[in-house]
Structure 1
């Protein structure tokens, strides 16, 4: 495990949600300018590096604590100068915290108390101010012209020992005058925003500070090099390669903490799993073996509970060895798909553990797991019970973004599956919960995933905003590049918004990766094919379902000119859903907004009319 001593700067916008509510579009446009004009240049000029971006905050590391403090002062001065010509209610104020400490390094990311303390110091700072630890103050006391005001020892959340904190006293920042009359438009209104809201800006993958409450018992895992059983030392690379590919895939899933390859690869000799668990502080270990003989390779893999040594899951794979890279990818993908994700073996084990707990000892994460097990049964009754569990958890943990998103998902489930007597009421309930979750700061990667996933549906369903739905879908998909279930679901919303090529790409990849393909994967793929003007492929995809969706078959057949088949499909639909009409289909499932973006919707409804679906 790599460690280093660095200065960590944590910054956070005060009242970020209010700024977005007041002028979302203008804020969005100015965010990107602010990124380029202030925060990135200043941090780079002071030899720093941004390693975490959050919806309303960032974390940066500096090799020099002097550089970190000077950078913080420059940022606050820059913001104050730009706020001078901005109306009071539009000004951006930022809190900054700085700590000097040892951090754990994994790839481009940093973890540990050194980082967490900086984040806690930022919360102690005044708007427009800087708060530093005692270590920082002592290190720079005689090197800078700034003064330090003692704030005493501060007891902060999830840090055992009190922190000695100091307020930085820096002169020369003019107090912004109170604006009279119409304010000037100025990028400083959200100067920090471009750095702090890159996800909204669309595009980059981003990582967030883990909420210490929400995921206090997130599962953790180490992947050991797969033992070479071939008797030929030259084949050692194969087992190491498979392990490395599995680590890469597992690391992408937000609910897992995966030990880096450099930490787990030292166990290249037989070792007790319990020892690995104790050394690396992990819940689970993946181990296995590779045996190559001729053109065949046999790979075994097993998931072991690191505390008990009990096997949770084991599997054997027999592969052709013509292309080693393909072989490694195939095995790693199957292991990842079985173990990780929302339906994986780790999730099942964690759910069982959550149900074994007595009610008084339940954590926020336990409520999430309990409800999740029911939710994935996909019945109206189980969904209602899952929602009740999450609502009970939310009463215990009222600041939970995790439980808010899950309750919102339960409403989306009822709406989409026609299990509600008032779709628009439930859409509004889901929207309120989703937007509340989005506004909660410092979300974990899992909470971030769920926020963007749930808002993908809600921007389309509640707002009729297909463009923003695409932004949310792409953001969510980027967080789970190997999770077939999530990406297959998100692909539907991309296709509905007219991004058919991207939808097809995600769905075809999900079907390739997922050994347990769901019927609706092919249904979603059929919709994407249809809107991409590939009706024949749409019919083929629908026919792979156990229960093909008649309305989509009808539209595809009508597009192909096969009107007899189209009318037969509509007849089956009307037998199951008497009274269904083109008007209802146009605004399904919420009854308020169009189901698909134009001109896709008009084309779709025209084909359904040809197939014989009544207008009213």
Structure 2
């Protein structure tokens, strides 16, 4: 039995039974010609191999998604108007198990379901496949949003080429109640020119996203993806297709020193219909009760069978003091900006002020811990302390966060990240797994679980974590990092072509980042392409002047996994200074 990650293309002959019924010998002759004259030469050029032939269809394995897509495009273009043979093609990258009797796994199952959705002559691919392919090819495909696939537990975001419209079986079109409603909360409009009120409105949205994300019965788009559209007049129907969701929460906020008025509405983007709306006018001291009421109301509309007890279990167990919450929101605003020393220092100042105003505010301690750990991990910081001093403070803050709110996903993420840097990998993995269980819609939780699995050497498992982070936050400004880490995992498990594709995607998304080139150089050494590896090192030093291997050893932590040690050895071979 062989188990591996692979790009799987599923192809099916359209109307095979009808063709055989009307002209059996002619159909068999056409299939032989197709196989010998078109399919086999294309597979040889694209490094493809047939895993299973079914008479009217094939499962084909490729070494890279780019090769698979290139082959699929060439097949459909060659068959168009020139052959009685028409194909439906589906493509996914996923785990596949190969035995002497058959092939199994998500790579096979999902590619087969996507093939069933395709129109004659069309290609339908998964979001995971699109994310791993060459960027020039990805523009060929139209976003069809999240799809419910038969016998597949989670929805899959699909992209199509050669189809005028999305397939009919779109996610949430099913009426049997088994699919998760998909939801995004758009940034609320602040009806004030006061910058503090802008923070206030963003804070309400942030809290609503967090509240909805705790419901495992919903599929909720991450904060960073939706805030990428802040200030945009983009239509909800466009965003629905872009993000793969059906429902949007929209609203506006007007606040005075003593009161807050919030207008909220729930929109079905598919039907372009407002299905719920409410206006709240409350004293500011009741802000968190207002947020809870909004969450319960909207969740009740989307999932009528959800009991009050289930709702209560998913709601936040405690609320911070209002002035502490406002300071925390200002801290997040500075924290999420592109890095500068000034903004980093400003974020820390506001998180410290939030703790001063409410010493029981778990999330504020968690952010202090994450700031410390990330400052060491990224090499970007406003701190003047030593690495040991920074991590000691981060550990203390993370442990305090968990002590104050053991049900908070952010607290467990913070403790997991710090423990990972300290080399306590079993604890780190367990903490991040707890965060995923507490908040299954939080892209950051899946990302950090993947990161800790990376350091623990559990690389194949880590790939699926980064895929889930990308699904939950498809427009995240930090998704370059999702692709970077996924690429490093593919390097670790020996899927070098896929690693190159993923790392190049990361580099395209963040041209100023040097880390994609770190693993590109390491991967090219494995592929015996010394020239490409040296060019990647040149790109590293162009973006991070003076970087040395000893800097990477600090970033990788005190107990780097085998593949990280191997990457550093390869970088030395490629010419990165020691």
Normalising by structure 1, report the TM-score. 0.43
- Work out which of the two has the higher radius of gyration on C-alpha atoms and give 1 or 2: 1
